Amino acid sequence: MAMLVKMPVKYFMVDAFTDSAFKGNPAVVCFLDDESKRDDVWLQSLATKFNLPMTCFLITITGSNPPRFILRWFTRFMVICGHATLASAHILFSNGLVGSADTVEFFTQIELNLPMIRRCEYNSNDVSMFSKALNGATIVDVRGTTTASTIPEALNGVAKAASTDKIIVVLPYWESVIELQPRVGDIMKCLGKVMIVTAAAPQGSPFDFCNSVCGSAHCSLAHYSSLKMNKSDFVAYAVHYDKDKQRVSLARKVVTVMNGSILV
């Protein structure tokens, strides 16, 4: 009996938002083809095996111009992922996989609006819970975000609703964010699915606000900052918010750390 041999899956491990290896935000970019026939269980198992913040998968849409790719992210927390998208573009261009094209398009099968800042008040008990989770940090503002999104299941187009509620917690000083030692167990007890901790940049800084290297978080912070600062352009790890087009453009250096093949 002949054994069905699966074609190896090529992968690249990348550090995004940095010009040095082993820094920034890591992601794995994997390439699938139409005949790979890997189901979601296999994809999630591989992402778990890599054990990085994000593993994404690209499938070429043949005959498209400009080059188009189906892009899928696998993680426990995020519906969208900016740094893995940036990593995917880097791999395509740096390895000559899109020829001389200067533009590529990703089809994510997600209908998603930018996060809107919810007009809500948190009581003193909520704020105390956030402060405890952040190891007693002083909090100057708390805002909730909500985004309506629809995500087709697998690749068959069966749609289901998804929630990407995040809590933005603002600390008084830039150093408070950099030196933060959060209590992960207490964070899991807080409201919302994701907690974004930020602070305004100090006087004279080239940045507008401080936050970890997370593109999804910056989408929320761009909207929050536009309301607070009454402007549309921000410098925060090279993030630009276009209020008129409702887009956030992410631009930053990326480093390829390793590549290989998955044999199973």
Pair (217, 127) in one structural domain: yes
- Report the number of distinct structural domains present in the chain: 2
Residues 144 and 254 in one domain: no
Taking only the tens place, the pLDDT of each residue in 185-211 is: 998 888 887 888 998 888 888 888 877
77-105 confidence digits (pLDDT tens): 566 787 898 899 999 999 999 987 778 99
In sequence order, what are the residues at sequence separation of 6 or more whose Cβ sits closer than 8 angstroms to the Cβ of residue 120? 143, 144
Distance CA 81, CA 67 (A): 20
Q: Indicate whether 102 and 49 sit together in one domain.
A: yes
Q: Summarize the confidence of residues 16-38 as an average pLDDT.
A: 85
Residues 231 and 126 in one domain: yes
DSSP state of 155: T
Helices (H), 123-198: 124-133, 174-178, 184-187
Region 150-158: what's the mean pLDDT? 41
Q: Any idea what the CATH number is for the domain that residue 78 is in? A: 3.10.310.10
Which of 27, 7, 29 minimizes the C-alpha distance to 16? 27
Q: Are residues 158 and 200 in the same domain?
A: yes
State whether residue 118 is helix, strand or coil: strand
Q: Are residues 224 and 237 in the same domain?
A: yes
pTM more than 0.75: no
Q: Does a structural domain hold residue 133?
A: yes
**Please, which residues have CB within 8 angstroms of residue 45's CB and are 6 or more apart in sequence?**
none
- The three-class DSSP label of residue 114 is coil
